[in-house]
Amino acid sequence: MTELPLLFTPLQLRDLELKNRIMVSPMATYSAQEGRATDWHTAHIGKLAAGGAGLVFVEQSSVNTQGRITHGCLGIWDDTHIADHAALAGLIHSFNAKAAIQIAHGGRKGSSQRPWEGGNPLGEADIKARGEGPWQIAASSGIPFDDGWPAPQMLTSEQIDALVDDYRQAFRRARAAGYDVIELHCAHGYLMHSFLSPLANNRNDQYGGSRENRMRLPLRIAAIMREEWPDNLPAFVRISSVDGVDIGWSIEDSIAFATELKAIGIDMVDCSSGGMKLPRGNSLVSRTPGFQVPFAERIQKEVGMPTVAVGLIREPDYAEAILRDGKATLIALGRELLWNPNWPAQTALALGCDPEWTSWPEQYGWWLKRRVAQQGR
């Protein structure tokens, strides 16, 4: 019997079994209304879940209204959001996939236009055009995200304590909604990343200065996430493995952070990068296939902790090689799945893992299989 490719070998995470090693990465679509999911989310998530991935993430969901990036961000700050999330989790489960959610706070990148509206800070023109005004943003420090952006309010110790409770309540709502996996967003310049990175954090209290202090709040919240999440289900953390080239947060910092996350009981680190505005000479190298895989590899091998590899992983053979070489444990795809949501099911066919077309929804798998047979393919 031919050995099954690792990409389609089930993965056990605590008591949760994923049918394969393909993960749909959380992708913000900025299409919610007052934090509520819409028909768009049903169509979007349904399409991705039907494609055959083992783990499907719903987009980042904000812990409070201040934590939104845009007026269109999905929320989990109120009990009224639970029903919408339960519907999305149930939809994912209906396609024999596991459902996951990313919990986030936009920090100093909040109060922004949607990307297709310009992605700039909200202002008077947005009020006139759509009735969507700006709000007070908050971060680790009062450092603006970029030139022309508003300075965020530096969170006080009391506000941090209130924020921690917001996260706790969000974790509880996520479980009430029926998600199988939860992920804390500590990447891409958002709030938790702004505490970690010395480029955004110039505090002089227990949450700033040394690396130990800058890690304190993200680790505090990660520990609460693990405490609130059922012992039999896995919890992830997404990080920006590096800020850039020879600047700010480094891979060595990420290794130290992952070591602490492992001690807390976090099951996997989702290894992304970037999110800070940097001088041209310090920007990350050109985005080529697998450009973030070395970060996942180092953390997995040096910390002894499973990682998610993400970043222009498009070819099945390359995805399989990453797993075979022990560079990561899960393969996450984002924009590739927007282009072709059936990538997992098609890959299973191409690699000979699914001769009976079981990765495809039976509602159309049967006639696709028949058509291929008739065409002699």
What are the pLDDT digits (tens) for 300-358?
A: 999 999 999 999 999 999 999 999 999 999 999 999 999 999 999 999 988 888 877 88
Average pLDDT over residues 55-72: 98
- The pLDDT, as a whole number, for residue 1 is 39
pTM more than 0.85: yes
Per the CB < 8 A criterion, the answer to whether 269 and 330 are in contact is: no
Q: Where are the alpha helices (DSSP H) in the chain?
A: 39-50, 82-94, 124-130, 157-176, 191-196, 211-228, 251-264, 293-303, 316-324, 335-339, 343-350, 362-375
What pLDDT was estimated at residue 317?
Answer: 94
Taking CA atoms, 247 is separated from 250, 283, 313, in Å, by: 7, 9, 26
| Both tokens assigned to 281 | 């000479």
Listed residue (200, 277, 269, 196) closest to 234, CA to CA:
269
pLDDT tens profile 81-127 = 999 999 999 999 999 999 999 999 999 999 999 999 999 999 999 99
- pLDDT tens column, 125-155: 999 999 999 999 999 999 999 999 999 999 9
Residues 6+ away with beta carbon under 8 Å from 273: 187, 240, 241, 242, 243, 284, 292, 295, 311
Q: What is the largest CA-CA distance in the chain?
A: 70
Backbone angles phi, psi at 195, to 5 degrees: -80, -40
Q: What is the 3-state secondary structure (H, E, C) of 269-291?
A: EEEECCCCCCCHHHCCCCCCCCC
Is residue 27 within 8 A of residue 129, CB to CB? The reply is: no
What is the set of active-site residues?
Answer: 190
Once rounded to an integer, what is the mean pLDDT over residues 234-263? 96
pLDDT tens-digit series, residues 178-216: 999 999 999 999 999 999 999 999 999 999 999 999 999
Give the pLDDT score at 285.
65
